Amino acid sequence: MGIIDKNLSLRDRNKMLLGIWEDEDKLVEATSELVHAGVKIQDVYTPYPVHGLDRIMGVRRSWLSIVAFLCGMTGFSLAFWMIYYMYVQDWPIDVGNKPVRFSPSWVPVLFEATVLCTAFGMAFFFFFRNRMIWGIKPELLDERQTDDRMVIAVETGEGVDEKKVLKIMKDHGAVELREKTGGVQTTI
Amino acid sequence: MGHGHHKIEIAQEQFTVPAKAKRFAIGLTIIGLILAGIGIATIDKSGTHGHQTEATKHEHAATAAKGGEIAANEHAADSHAETAEHHGNVENKNFGPRAEFHAQSKPWTTRIWSNVLIVGYLLFMVSLAALFFVAVQYIANAGWSAAIKRVPEAISTFFPVGFALAFIAILVAKNDLYHWVHYEHQHLTKGQPGFDAILDGKSWFLNSKMFLIFPVVLVAIWWLLGRKLRSLSVAEDSAQPGDVTFFKKSIRYSAGFAVIYGFTIAVVAWLWMMSIDAHWFSTIFGVYNFATSWVTALTIICLFVLYLKSQGHLKIVSDEHIHDLGKFMFAFSIFWTYIWLSQYLLIWYAHIPEEMSYYQIRFEEYKFNFLLNVVLNFICPFLILMMRNAKRNPVVLTVIGCILIFGHYHDVWLMVVPGVYGPGQQIGLLEIGTLFTFGGIFIYWVLNALTKRGLVPVNHPYIEESANHDVGV
Amino acid sequence: MIHDSLIRERLVTGGKTASDVTRDIARPILNKPSTSWKVGFTLSVIFLGIFVLSLFWTLWTGIGTWNINKSVMWGWDITNFVFWVGIGHAGTLISAILLLFRQKWRMSINRSAEAMTIFAVICAAMFPVFHMGRVWVGYWALPLPNAFGSLWVNFNSPLLWDVFAISTYFSVSLLFWYIGLIPDIATIRDKVKTKAAQYWYRFFSMGWTGSTRTWARYELISLILAGLSTPLVLSVHTIVSTDFATSVIPGWHTTIFPPYFVAGAIFSGFGMVATLLVVARKVMNYENYITIGHLEAMCKIIMLTGTLVGIAYLTEFFIAQYSGVEYEQYAFLNRASGPYWWAYWSMMFCNLVSPQVFWFKWARTTPWFIFIMSIVVNVGMWFERFVIIVTSLHRDYLPSSWVMYAGSLTEIGLFLGTFGIFFTCFFLFAKFLPVINMSEIKTILRNRE
């Protein structure tokens, strides 16, 4: 598995069917109806996190927590090695008769370094996985999808019954239906 | 979610203690008694504890608490990286003016009473913390916990009993448990041999009247407030649905209780625990005792909820609630460690003799227990409960819960025993036996208290929220 | 589905829809700056000027321009440092600890409180950095090999722990704040009209589209970052407290300092949040988002933390008398009845006594009163640090070194000047970024349907 989530890119896809919603509950209904009908949903775009939608779509739980743990271990080890090298091995300093070997004095620095590595390691993983980078062009399907509208995108192809998809969307409160071929969207 | 969001039925449930549970609780008590009996039979009843007498002959009490200096020299030696750690032999050790107290002859029954004090104090603090849990839920307007609130309510009924246990132990054996009580009874005045200016200067606070009366007054106040909170809670069950008067009143009483508890809980910890090492003092001690009792209370609440769940009760409690209780155990284990480290780090760092004596004896004579304390109460819960699935797994939670309960028992043990006896004690059959005995009584008591009222606060304004609780991510 | 109880107060009033939220909160960014904004910004820049002048004078002449050439060598400088670091703590408390406790009222105020954290930490950092005197070798505080041989930093020193703690806190807070901002920056990106604005908001939005796959990870990373920030925020003020408590100075070396400093930090931070938001909600017309209910919750936290701090004061005082250590006893009696008694009793009044007024509902629900109280809290917390630093240092172990201390004009100028830094940053933030977390607020609009 590559780090970047390939599902996020919309380039080089077949024709896509788009449904637009304005009501969160109806969107959730439509999504679960589509999933029940065996349709593979490309993605659902919402202006705010809709609780439980990822579970309905069957998105696997992210590996972020494991990455965070590994980054934390790395940070802890690096910090331990740093202090050990600088303070015990290379040039021990006797200040106020405090021991140079491992002591409670090490704890604050070890803790801070662990947190720092965990936070930034996890954040970089998050950015890579989500294909997020400064300056990248967003692939928007509707200009109000970051405001108040929600979009369900279904990629067409073999085994996708377009009529059925559109019907489910329409029956469950889609305010607008469109199809997208390449960069061109047409209202149905 | 989404598809078919059915409404969750909220129905009253009545708990009766299953025969198996009764057998378990009584069995635990009996096993405890047997173990304690064996423990008593095998302890040395000859009087003094031979181990430390050697150590104390060399130094006289009048030299005051200079113990830290030895440790300071030792650290100086250690700071040369190559120097092997050489811990001086026992003869060089001096644990301050308590040395005389440690060395003095104590009846063998002191060990029994110190055990009763430890377990009684722990159960008292824990049951009181359970009441504080109830109060906090009201003050914070918490919705999720409404479904489980009868459990901490039931646990909180035990605190007068725990208090009584500790109180009896203190009444009977205070002369042998508390250095300063022993000293007080000698009625020494300035200039007399053995006069201790520090203890003398503390007599305005550390005196028998304060020691016995103040906690009783406090317990009476807490008990009245706790009873009021519980009666409001049970009266709500038969109120009109939508009637929030009981709820509003509960918030007020909770706020009152929380303020009183916040201002006074430290005083009990100072009087009963900190004064065991009467020369020693630490401002964080009250917070530390609170942290210990709070995390243990959360653990015990979680275990009782898991038990009721396994018996098919608390139908509206789901994995989500269990998950949250697991998070609490995890988070407050870290909190305990934070407080533990704050106290230890600051005293270790400043290395002032009058403060060091507390840790010197614990670190040098009880090194295994000192480190075990951190392993049981921090490393185990931290590494295991970090995982999401562990917090949703009843078996893992039960195992960690038992580790935590023993860990915090062990924590209190470490506060008491080195101060009473000096070096050379270990947890033996008597200790385990006492823990089991009173643990069994505690379980029986709480299960019985759970039968006294419905298990579900059906008219609690947040009960529906609680039934639909979801941890989210 | 949200199952909020009917007795809960609405967190957003006025029947707002998602598009209303976008419109209301993006308004200051899309419109030209208002007059009140211009006035406030100008005032802040004037104060910033005072900072620059005082700093210039300090660097030109040397630290001698501060009145710290005596045993009170920390003076106003470290007082201000601890004051500002403390203020920084409310942001992380609101965004991290209240997130873990699922307090939804946090959503209207977390963005601005987090911004405050970052600006307050910048202000705080000024003081120890320039207290070093030769600030151009400030990098010596970092674990780098120095030029005179491989001598490293002293890991046993709490001052070094501070370097790690403050820099970690600043970076992680910035990261947490930025990740929280991304969806909102994307919203703004899709609304702004000018080319330059479109470029920059697109740049910082990192291609955000609101895909459910990203939202799922976003929610998880927010939770884990909150879990990390919680011990982090505790550790920062704990480590600041160890600057004092690891010493053997009477009044400083006391084990309750870590939790007591943390409680004080949250207390002062909430004081500052209340000061800003009571004004901002009025000026920016956000009364439907930052409701009286929000103010009430903040007041309760101010009361709680004020009382905790008060318990710590009483504990300290009690244990000092109990300890039997005459230095400790003297230090505390001297605080209360010595030459700085006025500072001690101001602190006691502002921090322990005055917040008790919030037991009354009227006090918690009257904005102008809350504003006054929040100023009282800020003053009280400044005095707390002043009391701790000055009363303990002005009585040296050597009585011939006993002195009185008052800040010099330069020190006062630096302190007032940091308010310039703080408010300049805050006004810029209010102009260019959404002050309220739009995407979170949108999730709680439908709580009563």
* The three-state (H, E, C) secondary structure of chain B, written as one string: CCCCCCCCCCCCCCCCCCHHHHHHHHHHHHHHHHHHHHHHHHCCCCCCCHHHHHHHHCCCHHHCCCHHHHHHHHHHHHCCCCCCCCCCCHHHCCCCCHHHHHHCCCCCHHHHHHHHHHHHHHHHHHHHHHHHHHHHHHHCCCCHHHHHCHHHHHHHCCHHHHHHHHHHHHHHHHHHHCHHHHHHCCCCCCCCCCCCHHHHHCCCCCCHHHHHHHHHHHHHHHHHHHHHHHHHHHHHHCCCCCCCHHHHHHHHHHHHHHHHHHHHHHHHHHHHHHHHHCCCCCCCHHHHHHHHHHHHHHHHHHHHHHHHHHCCCCCCCCHHHHHHHHHHHHHHHHHHHHHHHHHHHHHHHHCCHHHHHHHHHHHHCCHHHHHHHHHHHHHHHHHHHCCHHHHCCHHHHHHHHHHHHHHHHHHHHHHHHHHHHCCCCCCCHHHHHHHHHHHHHHHHHHHHHHHCCCCCCCCCCCHHHHHCCCCCC
Tokens of C24: 């209301």
| pLDDT tens digits along B198-253 | 888 888 898 888 888 989 999 999 999 999 999 999 888 888 877 888 999 999 99
Distance from CA of B377 to the nearest CA of A (A): 17
Instruction: Say if the Cβ atoms of A82 and C143 lie within 8 Å.
Output: yes
Phi, psi of A42 (to 5 degrees): -65, -55
The number of beta carbons lying within 10 Å of the beta carbon of residue C38 is 12
In A, which residues are within 8 Å of C152 by CB distance? 86-87, 90-91, 93
Instruction: Say if the Cβ atoms of A28 and B81 lie within 8 Å.
Output: no
CA nearest C214 in A: which residue? Answer: A130
In C, which residues are within 8 Å of B144 by CB distance? 102
Give the pLDDT confidence score for residue B69 in this predicted structure: 40
| Domain boundaries along the sequence of chain C | 18-136+157-443
Instruction: Say if the Cβ atoms of B140 and C231 lie within 8 Å.
Output: no
Question: Which chains does B contact via 3+ CB–CB distances below 8 A?
Answer: A, C
Which H helix or E strand runs over A115?
A: helix A106-129
Across the interface, which of A32, A33, A101 has its CB nearest the CB of B78? A101
CA nearest C166 in A: which residue? Answer: A112
Instruction: Say if the Cβ atoms of B205 and C322 lie within 8 Å.
Output: yes
**Of residues C348, C423, C444, the one with CA closest to residue C387:** C348
Distance from CA of C156 to the nearest CA of A (A): 5
* Residue keyed to tokens 């100008």: C42
| Domain boundaries along the sequence of chain A | 6-60+138-187, 64-129
Instruction: Say if the Cβ atoms of B262 and C8 lie within 8 Å.
Output: no
Instruction: Say if the Cβ atoms of A101 and B81 lie within 8 Å.
Output: yes
In this prediction, the residues of chain C whose per-residue pLDDT falls under 50 are 448-449
Q: What are the distances in angstroms from CA C75 to CA B63, C63, C65, C123?
A: 39, 12, 12, 17
Give the pLDDT confidence score for residue B99 in this predicted structure: 64
Separation of alpha carbons C54 and B132, rounded Å: 51
Separation of alpha carbons B175 and B101, rounded Å: 10
| pLDDT tens digits along B414-468 | 999 988 888 888 888 999 999 999 999 999 999 999 998 888 888 888 888 888 8
Tokens of C119: 């600006």
Least confident of A91-95, B301-305, B318-322, C255-259: A91-95
Tokens of C212: 């459910």
Interchain CB contact of C274 with B (< 8 Å): no
Phi, psi of C87 (to 5 degrees): -60, -35
Give the pLDDT confidence score for residue B46 in this predicted structure: 67
Give the pLDDT confidence score for residue C1 in this predicted structure: 52
Question: Kind of pairing, strands A176-181 and A16-21?
Answer: antiparallel
Separation of alpha carbons A112 and A130, rounded Å: 27
In the three-class reduction of DSSP (H, G, I as helix; E, B as strand; rest coil), residue A20 is classed as: strand
| CA-based end-to-end distance of chain C | 10
Instruction: Say if the Cβ atoms of B388 and A105 lie within 8 Å.
Output: no
Q: In what order do the strands lie in the sheet with A184-187?
A: A41-45, A150-155, A16-21, A176-181, A184-187
Tokens of B386: 């970090």
| pLDDT tens digits along B183-203 | 888 888 888 888 888 888 888
Interchain CB contact of C447 with B (< 8 Å): no
**B422 within 8 A of B54, measured Cβ to Cβ:** no
**Of residues C303, C414, C415, the one with CA closest to residue C363:** C303
In B, which residues are within 8 Å of A51 by CB distance? 1, 470, 472
Distance from CA of C176 to the nearest CA of B (A): 17
Across the interface, which of B78, B341, B470 has its CB nearest the CB of A99? B78
Q: Is the pLDDT of residue B169 over 90?
A: yes
Amino acid letter at B437? T
**A93 within 8 A of C150, measured Cβ to Cβ:** no
Where does the pLDDT of residue B96 fall: very low under 50, low under 70, confident under 90, or very high at 90 and above? low
Crossing angle of the two packed helices C158-189 and C75-92, in degrees rounded to 10:
40
Distance from CA of A167 to the nearest CA of C (A): 22
Separation of alpha carbons B101 and B94, rounded Å: 12
Instruction: Say if the Cβ atoms of B350 and C256 lie within 8 Å.
Output: no
Question: Of the CATH numbers 3.40.50, 3.30.60, 3.30.70, 1.10.3470, which one belongs to the domain with range A6-60+138-187?
Answer: 3.30.70
| pLDDT tens digits along B14-28 | 888 899 999 999 999
**Which one-letter DSSP state was computed for residue A181?**
E
Give the pLDDT confidence score for residue B250 in this predicted structure: 92
Q: What are the distances in angstroms from CA B304 to CA B295, B384, B396, C380?
A: 14, 20, 14, 44
| pLDDT tens digits along A29-48 | 889 988 888 888 888 999 99
Q: Is B36 exposed, middle or buried (0-12, 13-18, 19+ CB in 10 A)?
A: buried
If interface means Cβ-Cβ distance under 8 Å, which residues of chain A face chain B? 28-29, 31-33, 36, 51-52, 55-56, 65, 69, 88, 92, 94, 97-101, 103-105, 107
Mutate to test the interface with B, among A36, A62, A97, A126 (most CBs of B within 10 A): A97
Sheet strands (E) in chain A: 16-21, 41-45, 150-155, 176-181, 184-187
Distance from CA of A36 to the nearest CA of B (A): 10
| pLDDT tens digits along A138-185 | 888 888 889 889 999 988 887 778 888 888 888 888 888 888 887 788
Interchain CB contact of B86 with A (< 8 Å): no
Give the pLDDT confidence score for residue B56 in this predicted structure: 40
**Of residues B360, B374, B344, B206, the one with CA closest to residue B276:** B206
Separation of alpha carbons C127 and C143, rounded Å: 20
Rg of chain A taking only CA atoms, in angstroms: 25
Degrees to nearest 5, angle at CA C26 with C25 and C28: 90
Instruction: Say if the Cβ atoms of C156 and A131 lie within 8 Å.
Output: no
Instruction: Say if the Cβ atoms of A52 and B1 lie within 8 Å.
Output: yes
CA nearest B7 in C: which residue? Answer: C3
Question: Which chains does A contact via 3+ CB–CB distances below 8 A?
Answer: B, C
CB pairs < 8 Å spanning A and B? 49
Instruction: Say if the Cβ atoms of B282 and C258 lie within 8 Å.
Output: no
Question: Kind of pairing, strands A150-155 and A184-187?
Answer: unpaired
Across the interface, which of B259, B287, B465 has its CB nearest the CB of C4? B465
Across the interface, which of B284, B354, B464 has its CB nearest the CB of C325? B354
Q: What are the distances in angstroms from CA B262 to CA B138, C307, C316?
A: 16, 9, 15
Give the pLDDT confidence score for residue B73 in this predicted structure: 41
Mean pLDDT rounded to a whole number for chain B: 84
* Residue keyed to tokens 């000061």: C275
**A149 within 8 A of A20, measured Cβ to Cβ:** yes
Mutate to test the interface with C, among A46, A50, A133, A155 (most CBs of C within 10 A): A46
Q: Is C139 exposed, middle or buried (0-12, 13-18, 19+ CB in 10 A)?
A: exposed
In the three-class reduction of DSSP (H, G, I as helix; E, B as strand; rest coil), residue A149 is classed as: coil
Give the pLDDT confidence score for residue B371 in this predicted structure: 93
**Which one-letter DSSP state was computed for residue A100?**
S
Instruction: Say if the Cβ atoms of A104 and B344 lie within 8 Å.
Output: yes
Distance from CA of B183 to the nearest CA of A (A): 35
Interchain CB contact of B472 with A (< 8 Å): yes
* Residue keyed to tokens 């820099």: C167
Instruction: Say if the Cβ atoms of C157 and A95 lie within 8 Å.
Output: yes
Cα B408 to its chain centre, rounded Å, is: 6
Distance from CA of B272 to the nearest CA of C (A): 15
CA nearest A48 in C: which residue? Answer: C439
Q: Which residues on adjacent β-strands are paired with residue A177?
A: A19
CATH superfamily of C18-136+157-443: Formate dehydrogenase/DMSO reductase domain (1.20.1630.10)
Instruction: Say if the Cβ atoms of B346 and C257 lie within 8 Å.
Output: yes
